[in-house]
Homo-oligomer: A and B are copies of this chain.
Amino acid sequence: MNLVKAWDILKENGYKETSKRNQILELFVNDDRYLTARDLLDVMQKDYPSMSYDTVYRNLATFVSLGILEETELSGERHFRMHCESDSHHHHFICMDCGKIKEIPVCPMDMLGAALPAYEIDNHKFEIYGKCPACK
């Protein structure tokens, strides 16, 4: 996902263009990893010392709901990153050191199609955790 595409989505849904939103998005475009709300606020406050948690969390929630960012829970904290470019369903290897991801193109649900009759399947989560080659 890039800036232009993100703004297209935001504009389509009637959201206004603010410098803070833009800088949050730029940060995610340039820093391709999972970040916490706290991480984000720390970086943003270098340019906007008065930025509050509310702004961070409100915009993160907006971006996630529009599919601009994706979210996961790592060691008890919510982490956010720019949604991948690839529009096909996939999963992630996540480096627990640097937060960078590697896309895993296969989905285990493909092989479980009929394995759970009578169950209503609403969602699933498949993530692999470890160290990427650079951090190992």
Using CB atoms and an 8 Å cutoff, list the residues of chain A in contact with chain B.
Answer: 73, 76, 78, 93, 96, 102, 104, 106, 108-109, 111-112, 115-116, 118-133, 136
A93 to B115, CA, bound (A): 11
Q: List 24 A-B contacts (CB under 8 A).
A: A76-B78, A93-B116, A93-B119, A96-B122, A104-B115, A106-B108, A106-B111, A108-B108, A108-B111, A108-B126, A109-B128, A116-B128, A118-B133, A119-B131, A120-B131, A121-B128, A121-B129, A122-B131, A123-B128, A123-B129, A123-B130, A125-B127, A125-B129, A126-B126
List chain B residues, Cβ under 8 A from A96.
122
Say whether B136 contacts A128, CB under 8 Å: no
